[in-house]
Amino acid sequence: MSRLAPPVGPRDHVQGPPNAPLTLVEYGDYECGYCGEAYLIVKEVQRALGDNLRFVFRNFPLGEAHPHAEHAAELAEAAADAGQFWPMHDLLYEHQDALGDESLVAYGRALGLPEETLRDASGGRYAGRVREDFMSGVRSGVNGTPTFFINGRRHDGSWELDSLMDALLEAADQDVR
């Protein structure tokens, strides 16, 4: 079973309490249809588990299959610098069918990102940050999206709601013992 490398740290995008008994890490691609489905499932898991879950998102754009994924990830990182990562993350997944550069600029403006930030995002300033996430995924054994890790261990089962919830609850039970 693959382990998460590096472990969750201060550079990550995190929702939920730092001391939650469960940590779910997703390596995702904003243009991946399966990731779009998983986005809705993760939202349901977060509602169900509340403060018992810490959710972490890491970029894993599959550029050959999804030509807009890299720029979308770079925009999300630019939004993070403005304290808007999660609103941008949600906006990108909720508009997966429109991730061209003009749409991305419109999303940035809708969130109030400064024009300079939008220029930086489209100019490649955040490509290195996206690449760091991607390479951490490679080191962790990620070879497609979405890929999930539960408490640092790769989840190789289904990511459908019931299966993912069962795996999370099993991990919580194991980690209590």
Amino acid at 169: L
pLDDT at site 63: 84
pLDDT at site 1: 64
Assess whether pLDDT exceeds 60 at residue 177: no
pLDDT at site 174: 76
Assess whether pLDDT exceeds 60 at residue 7: yes
Predicted TM-score of the model (pTM):
0.96
Structural domains of the chain, ranges and CATH numbers in brackets: 13-171 (3.40.30.10)
Q: What is the pLDDT of residues 19-61, one digit of tens each?
A: 999 999 999 999 999 999 999 999 999 999 999 999 999 999 9
Query: Taking residues 102-117, what's their average pLDDT?
Result: 95
Q: What percent of the chain has pLDDT over 90?
A: 90
Query: Taking residues 111-123, what's their average pLDDT?
Result: 91
Mean pLDDT computed over every residue of the chain: 95
pLDDT at site 64: 86
Please answer whether residues 121 and 75 qualify as being in contact, where contact means their C-beta atoms are separated by less than 8 angstroms: yes
Query: Taking residues 2-30, what's their average pLDDT?
Result: 97
Q: What is the pLDDT of residues 68-80, one digit of tens each?
A: 999 999 999 999 9
